[in-house]
């Protein structure tokens, strides 16, 4: 077993042991949902070179679709999740077919515009609950056997979904299809000259990314038993970009680490301010309250500037440099 495989096994064991370590399960599940969302986005940007500013549309649409199917239509949790993923996939086909006709900033702006259209649809539609969102979605019973009202049962379901989604991305990246995506990212005209139908590969990558983002959205809905407009805003699209950049663009582990960092800072704003105040003796920092996010934003900017490849990317570059030096010696 190589080091990478061993690392994945140890990480899976750690995930399975989290409930026994006294870590709040809801917090851990939230991180896994955002990590899957970031990994799905990274498949499109990091491995295909397509910057989407509208990925929140897939997260939000799957959340609303799953929540409505479970609460109103009486779907079981597994069918509700599959329905949400299917809706996200269909939306991905429509948005992808329109967006891949352009590249660069034009592609990004088209995805953002389409995402905003989806957002305003959710804002006006009656079944979404408008600004109040879709609340009180029952978790139900998985396959008629496992009661998901238990946070422990739900945790292992979310963990299974995350591991499955991550494996799909890993397998895609290491497949011939994934190699073509990398070729498109590095040199699209060359990929065209080699006879590849670039638009078809881009569309497939876009739809796969949308499906996985939808899987994250449906799972998040089940955790918090609600779907809200915050899942479909452009800020959410920006947040997933931030997760990917901080963790490491074009790496498999980077988005997971980026999601952990972002969610940790998002949920620990008060604790963060108190800790800084205690360490530095600067009491006004603790009095900033929610405005401490400005300081956190500055930390993000510094991280992006200092770690141009992201945290994992910089570590990988350092290890490769060290390996090259040792080889020459």
Q: pLDDT by residue (tens digit) across 81-120?
A: 999 999 999 999 999 999 998 888 899 999 999 999 999 9
Cα–Cα distance, 216 to 57 (Å, whole number): 12
The SS3 call for residue 146 is strand
Q: What is the distance between the terminal CA atoms of the chain, rounded to a whole angstrom? A: 28
Cβ partners under 8 Å of residue 60, min gap 6:
118, 119, 122, 217, 227, 229, 231, 232, 233, 236
Contact predicate 62/87, CB 8 Å: yes
Low-confidence ranges of the chain (pLDDT < 50): 270, 272-273, 275-277, 279-285
What pLDDT shows up at residue 8? 85
pLDDT at 6: 84
Instruction: Find out whether 242 and 136 touch, Cβ atoms under 8 Å.
Output: no
C-alpha 56/C-alpha 37 separation (Å) is 9
Q: Which residues contact 68 (CB under 8 A, 6 or more apart)?
A: 127, 128, 134
Q: What is the pLDDT of residues 16-52, one digit of tens each?
A: 888 888 788 888 999 999 999 999 999 999 899 999 9
Place of tokens 């490769």: 320
* pLDDT attached to residue 43: 94
pTM assigned to the model? 0.89
Domain residue spans in the chain? 21-234
């Amino acid at each position: 077993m190589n080091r990478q495989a061993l690392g994945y096994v140890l990480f899976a064991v750690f995930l399975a042991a989290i409930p026994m370590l006294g870590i709040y399960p809801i917090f851990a599940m939230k991180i896994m949902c955002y990590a899957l969302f970031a990994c799905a986005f990274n498949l499109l940007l990091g491995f295909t070179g397509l910057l989407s500013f509208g990925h929140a549309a897939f997260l939000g649409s799957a959340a609303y679709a799953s929540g409505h199917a479970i609460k109103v239509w009486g779907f079981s949790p597994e069918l509700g999740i599959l329905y949400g993923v299917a809706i996200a996939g269909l939306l991905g086909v429509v948005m992808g077919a329109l967006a891949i006709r352009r590249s660069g900033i034009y592609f990004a702006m088209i995805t953002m515009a389409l995402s905003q259209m989806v957002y305003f649809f959710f804002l006006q539609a009656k079944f979404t609950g408008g600004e109040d969102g879709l609340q009180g979605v029952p978790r139900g019973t998985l396959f008629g056997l496992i009661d998901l009202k238990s946070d422990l049962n739900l945790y292992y379901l979310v963990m299974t979904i995350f591991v499955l989604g991550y494996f799909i991305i890993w397998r895609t990246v290491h497949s011939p299809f994934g190699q073509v995506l990398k070729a498109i990212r590095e040199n699209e005209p060359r990929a065209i000259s080699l006879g590849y139908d670039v638009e078809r590969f881009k569309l497939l990558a876009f739809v796969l990314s949308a499906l996985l983002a939808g899987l994250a959205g449906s799972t998040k809905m089940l955790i918090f038993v609600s779907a809200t407009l915050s899942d479909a805003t452009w800020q959410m699209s920006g947040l997933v970009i931030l997760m990917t950049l901080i963790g490491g663009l074009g790496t498999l582990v980077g988005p997971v680490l980026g999601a952990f960092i972002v969610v940790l800072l998002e949920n620990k704003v008060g604790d963060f301010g108190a800790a800084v105040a205690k360490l530095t003796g600067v009491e006004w920092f603790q009095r900033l309250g929610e405005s401490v996010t400005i300081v956190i934003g500055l930390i993000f900017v510094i991280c992006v500037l200092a770690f141009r490849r992201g945290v994992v990317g910089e570590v990988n570059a350092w290890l490769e440099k060290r390996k090259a030096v040792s080889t020459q010696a």
